[in-house]
Amino acid sequence: MKRHFFVQAPVPLLAALTLVLLFDPSGFAKLSLICAVLHEGGHILAFWMLTGRLPQVGCSLCGLKIEMDGEQLSLIKENLLLLSGPLANLVVAALTGLLILSRATFARYFFACENLCLALFNLLPIGFLDGGRLIHNILGERAARGLRYFSALCCLVVAILGFWLFLRQRNGFVLLVLFCLMTLALIAKNLRE
């Protein structure tokens, strides 16, 4: 029987998850993890609807990864698959917004905003995110080089914003770390190509 879920580096992953959840008295890390699972769940549901089977899902310190296992999708189906994750987050944000109308809580506001931010972040035109891959599919291979430069520019904008927030409010450290991770991922991707 074929496994549909696998874990890479399970000990460091479980250690990191344990530390994050252990030192999160507010519960916001749990809500953020739920948002990420909903995003990937949107991709999994779309893959199942488009192909009639479940994909292989890998989990590592870098996040969840859906492997299509050699499945060739048409360009339209692949674009629908790329849009399904952000769409799932947008739908959940809208539904949470409706719940806020009946009873507003800080956790509901956070959950709605986290889903909205995750959807918008994944639609950024950065090569390895949903938005970057979507633009690559639409513009084709001839635009791949320009997309790499544009991805680097987007990473730079995120870094500048994070640095500005850090200096101004001592609050942008996470954006700086995010920039570093995105830059390392871009460099690794470019080295592979």
Q: Write the burial class of residue 13 (CB in 10 Å: 0-12 exposed, 13-18 middle, 19+ buried).
A: middle
CA–CA distance, 112 with 114 (Å, rounded to integer): 6
Burial-class residue 78 by CB neighbours within 10 Å (0-12, 13-18, 19+).
middle
pTM for this prediction: 0.78
Q: Quick check: helix, strand or coil at residue 56?
A: strand
pLDDT at residue 138, rounded to an integer: 87
* Chain center to CA of 85: 8
pLDDT at 189: 60
The β-bridge relationship of strands 56-60 and 5-7 is: parallel
pLDDT value of residue 103: 92
- Return d(Cα 40, Cα 17) in angstroms, integer: 17
What is the predicted pLDDT for the residue at 82? 93
Q: Which residues of the chain have pLDDT under 50?
A: 1
153 backbone dihedrals φ, ψ, rounded to 5°: -65, -40
Predicted confidence at residue 190, as pLDDT, reads 54
